[in-house]
Amino acid sequence: IELVSQKSKLHPKPEGLTLQYGTAGFRTHAKHLDHIMFRMGLLATLRSKKTKSTIGVMVTASHNPEEDNGVKLIDPMGEMVTAAWEGYATQLANAEQDSLLKELKDIIKKEDIDMSEPASVYVGKDTRPSSASLSQAVLDGVSSLGGKTHDYGLVTTPQLHYMVCCCNTHGCYGSPTVEGYYQKLSQAFLQLTQNALNRTDDQKRLLVDGANGIGALKMREMEPFLRSELQVVLSNDGSSGKLNHMCGADYVKVQQKAPQGMNMGVGERCCSFDGDADRIVYYYTDSKGCFHLLDGDKIATLISTYLKELLTQAGLNLQIAVVQTAYANGSSTRYLEDVMKVTVCCTKTGVKHLHHAAQEYDIGVYFEANGHGTVSSLLNNAILQRQSPGKRAVKLLESTINLINQTVGDAISDMLVIEAVLAIRGMSAQDWDAIYTDLPNRQLKVTVCADRRVIDTTDAERRAVSPEGLQDTIDTLVKKYKSARSFVRPSGTEDVVRVYAEADTQESADSLAHEVSLAVY
Ligand code: 16G
Ligand code: ZN
């Protein structure tokens, strides 16, 4: 621990700066983050000693601008770090230089950590210019507490989650290398596409927007493994453009338009990754030049419908549920509940909330509307083997489960699952889009003078409990429109209040969102 005090002086905290471990870790301008990285190296080492497992630290700011950076911690099974330790992360991050040791000892005492335990930390980073030195600061933190590190260098966020899970399950989940990841996924994908007959080259072709980030790099690496069963046309591959600038999943979802630099033919399937490749959205333009977005809700519908059918065919009586947030389009919820008859549940925003809710079911398909999600499943080979293993549906289920990155939302894995499902069902992007029609919607953000946290919500953020009267006002406004719904919530990543509205027409959705934002202000 004495080494910590020496080494920490090389990663000094600017006095007075305070940051919070938010929905997805620390995230801000890269110049404020060196001390945070060092300290997260320390915390990951403690977490490793405590859990007697390997812990992951990912250096990335996802879809934020290139100048930003951030860090997220990964728990033993590849899930996001548990809430109590998010609190420790904030505590450690904000300790002034001379009280760092005291705070560190406080955590060791509270968690009763045996400092003689070994520690192992996996570290990864995205392609931001600042990521190299920031990940070095994480490695410094770990080694100053005597922990062992494995630096994976440039990887996507979900690849690092996968590595951590592989390591702690002793290879049961796969082998903890980037090559092992490509092999596991491509094998499953090739097995699935064998079940799709007469695929034309057009059907095998997919336009991918790599957001000028790590996803583009990794897609290039993976392509040979897919043996032309998927022919990726990559744009925004990082060779000239700036990370997340006018491209990427967040841009496409929020702007509801195609990224720059993509040459879309009529009806051609396209998708966009975000800056660390844990999010994906699909889209196409129709013959009239209209842009159609296939977001996380459409993805959840496609995948859950497919899985439900396979379960029935395989004779497996397992419970399947779809987990959404308040942002899920009302049409998707109605379709899933009324037509597909699957259980739908709603949680607060933030993938960790969806992930935990999904684990309550045998199979939980969870997606945020913004395209972040995956499937968590209790299905394993033992269950499948009991179920006439030769059966087509059983084989398909097995390969599908292997293709899914169950630790966290993964753009590459999600993309391959979607491509396989479309291929097996012989569906085009238009067929997929036609499953249900989205209600027109609008999202706005409002900057409030007061602390945004005066807004407190309940019922998975769908209703405001404070300030008093706000919810009544929203209810009154909603009643003026047809098929309308609206809610407000304080953002977990920006100093703004977010407003969401949907209604039967775009004009109504726009006008409702506008009226509600005035009520917030
Ligand atoms: C973070 C979350 C994302 C969520 C978003 C909401 C993770 C990995 N990411 O980016 O899931 O949709 O925050 O942001 O959990 P907001 O609170 O600003 O609306
Ligand atoms: Zn991301």
| CATH code of 472's domain | 3.30.310.50
Calculate ∠ Cα 288-295-253, nearest 5°: 80
What are the tens digits of pLDDT across the range 205-260?
999 999 999 999 999 999 999 999 999 999 999 999 999 999 999 999 989 999 99
Question: What is the number of structural domains in the chain?
Answer: 4
Query: Which residue type, as a one-letter code, is found at position 170?
Result: H
Q: How confident is the model at residue 1 (pLDDT cuts 50, 70, 90)?
A: confident
Q: Say which CATH number the domain at 196 has.
A: 3.40.120.10
> Ligand 1 centroid vs 6 CA: distance in angstroms?
36
Q: Does some domain include residue 59? A: yes
- Same domain? For 282 and 304 the reply is no
What are the tens digits of pLDDT across the range 5-35?
999 999 999 999 999 998 889 999 999 999 9
The pLDDT score that the predictor gives to residue 381 is 67
Q: Does some domain include residue 58? A: yes
From edge to edge, which strands make up the β-sheet containing 26-29?
A: 26-29, 68-74, 54-59, 120-125, 148-154
Cβ(160)–Cβ(59) under 8 Å? no
Which H or E run includes 202?
A: helix 201-204
- Same domain? For 36 and 55 the reply is yes
List Cα–Cα distances, 32 to 72, 94, 127, 139, 320, in angstroms: 16, 12, 18, 18, 44
- Same domain? For 311 and 256 the reply is no
Q: How confident is the model at residue 436 (pLDDT cuts 50, 70, 90)?
A: very high
What are the tens digits of pLDDT across the range 297-332?
999 999 999 999 999 998 888 999 999 999 999 999
Answer with the one of 293, 321, 351 that is the final residue of a domain.
293
- Same domain? For 32 and 74 the reply is yes
Pairs from 8-15 (Cβ < 8 Å, separation ≥ 24) = 8/35, 8/38, 8/39, 8/97, 8/100, 8/144, 9/97, 10/38, 10/140, 11/35, 11/37, 11/38, 11/39, 11/137, 11/140, 11/141, 12/97, 13/95, 13/96, 13/97, 13/100, 15/96, 15/97
- Same domain? For 304 and 218 the reply is no
Whose C-alpha lies nearest to ligand 1, atom 7?
Answer: 24
Atom of ligand 1 nearest to the CA of 352: 15
Q: Which domain holds residue 317?
A: 296-409
Calculate ∠ Cα 515-518-519, nearest 5°: 90
- Same domain? For 275 and 327 the reply is no
Answer with the one of 278, 293, 308 that is the final residue of a domain.
293
What are the tens digits of pLDDT across the range 95-114?
999 999 999 999 999 999 99
Neighbours of 369 (CB within 10 A): 27
- Same domain? For 19 and 32 the reply is yes
Tell me: pLDDT of 382 over 80.
Answer: no
The pLDDT score that the predictor gives to residue 495 is 85
Burial of 355 (0-12, 13-18, 19+ CB in 10 A): buried
The pLDDT score that the predictor gives to residue 156 is 98
Name residues contacting ligand 1 (CB within 6 A): 23-24, 349-351, 368, 370, 372, 491-494, 498
Q: How confident is the model at residue 462 (pLDDT cuts 50, 70, 90)?
A: very high
Calculate ∠ Cα 157-346-330, nearest 5°: 105
Distance CA 102, CA 96 (A): 10
Q: Does some domain include residue 85? A: yes
Atom of ligand 1 nearest to the CA of 494: 18
- Same domain? For 263 and 305 the reply is no
Residues with CB under 5 A from ligand 2 (ion): 62, 274, 276, 278
Q: How confident is the model at residue 380 (pLDDT cuts 50, 70, 90)?
A: confident
- Same domain? For 148 and 10 the reply is yes
The pLDDT score that the predictor gives to residue 27 is 94
Identify the nearest ligand to the CA of 25 by its number. Answer: 1
The pLDDT score that the predictor gives to residue 317 is 87
Q: Does some domain include residue 170? A: no
Atom of ligand 1 nearest to the CA of 372: 11
Burial of 2 (0-12, 13-18, 19+ CB in 10 A): exposed
Arithmetic mean of pLDDT over the chain: 95
What are the tens digits of pLDDT across the range 64-96?
999 999 999 999 999 999 999 999 999 999 999
> Ligand 1 centroid vs 327 CA: distance in angstroms?
12
Q: Does some domain include residue 161? A: no
Q: Does some domain include residue 171? A: no
> Ligand 2 centroid vs 490 CA: distance in angstroms?
20
The pLDDT score that the predictor gives to residue 72 is 97
β-strand pairing of 270-273 with 343-347: unpaired
Catalytic residue among 62, 304, 377, 413: 62
Q: In this predicted model, which residue has the larger pLDDT, 197 or 170?
A: 170
Answer with the one of 273, 293, 313 that is the final residue of a domain.
293
What are the tens digits of pLDDT across the range 387-433?
776 689 999 999 999 999 999 999 999 999 999 999 999 999 999 99
- Same domain? For 288 and 305 the reply is no
Active site residue 62: yes
Token pair of 126, please? Answer: 């995205």
Q: Can you tell me the ipTM of this complex?
A: 0.97
> Ligand 1 centroid vs 352 CA: distance in angstroms?
10
Average pLDDT score over residue span 443-457: 87
Single pTM value for the model? 0.96
The pLDDT > 90 percentage for the chain reads 90
